[in-house]
Amino acid sequence: MIIKEIIKKYFKKYILCIKNEVTQKVIWFSCNTTGQKRKKQKQINSGEHINKSCKMEKVFRSSDYWDKRYVDGGNSGAGSYGRLAEFKAEILNNFVNENNIETVIEFGCGDGNQLLFLNYPKYKGYDVSKTAVALCRNKFRGDNSKQFYLLDEYHNEKAELSLSLDVIFHLIEDKVFDNYMSLVFSCSERCVIIYSSNKVEYSPAKHVKHRKFTDWIEQNKREWQLIKKIPNRYPGNGNDGSSSFCDFYIFEKNYYKK
């Protein structure tokens, strides 16, 4: 009994450490001896948020963010406009022509503005946003060489070239990233072109998460070989709207041999 009173007197407070399984971050609480919790510090990057009353707020979802962005009148971002769009088009159009590419699939077609600069014989674009797909269908109505679908409508279609442009660093959730990467490579018969950052680096923007995606490819798609990297003509952090932290990465099937 005496020991119990001493504990209460000298250890009135203790720290409870909880690992948030969604964010993989640590949340700290200060707790008194009655078990009442008070939030002391939290470190969160994405996923579940905890407010002052310790109630769970809505989990951040990449798909919801982008659909709301388009609904609210936003666009695909600076990378699909101006000199960055022209630079990307130059690289992609040259690759398609030089390699006699006939069919292209893109995962993350966005509002379709980048596509205005591109010349593909046959193109299918997929996106998670219903609004983006509707924008593209309206923008390219009457163009039978282009088709647009929701990502949920993808059913193992194949193409000679698979594209991912300005998408990977917007995939906040690890599971979404894994599924997306699998799609990009499984649908291609010949080549994959990725335009993205390729580093692990903190970003204050809630819709940006930099990853070293080439590590994922080495671990999961060893039959694919990086044949060329093309540095950005306008390198930068992207804050000025006319520079980018993305580079081109071109992959080709080269069945792995031990």
Q: Give the model confidence (pLDDT) of 8-45 as tens digits.
A: 444 443 333 333 433 334 333 334 434 444 444 444 44
Give the start-to-end residue ranges of the domains of the chain. Answer: 2-59, 64-253
Over residues 63-94, the pLDDT tens digits come to 888 888 888 888 888 889 999 999 999 999 99
CATH T-level topology, domain 64-253: Rossmann fold (3.40.50)
Cα 39 from chain centroid?
A: 31
Q: Which of 100, 75, 86, 107 is nearest to 193 (CA)?
A: 107
Predicted local confidence at residue 69, as pLDDT: 86
CA-only gyration radius of the chain, Å? 23
Predicted local confidence at residue 227, as pLDDT: 97
DSSP string, 69-94: HHHTT--S-GGGSHHHHHHHHHHHHH
Q: Residue type for 147, please?
A: Q
Q: What H or E segment, with its residue span, contains residue 136?
A: helix 130-139
Predicted local confidence at residue 206, as pLDDT: 86
Please tell me the pTM assigned to this model. 0.76
Question: Which residue ranges in the chain fall short of pLDDT 50?
Answer: 3-4, 6-57, 256-258
Predicted local confidence at residue 16, as pLDDT: 38
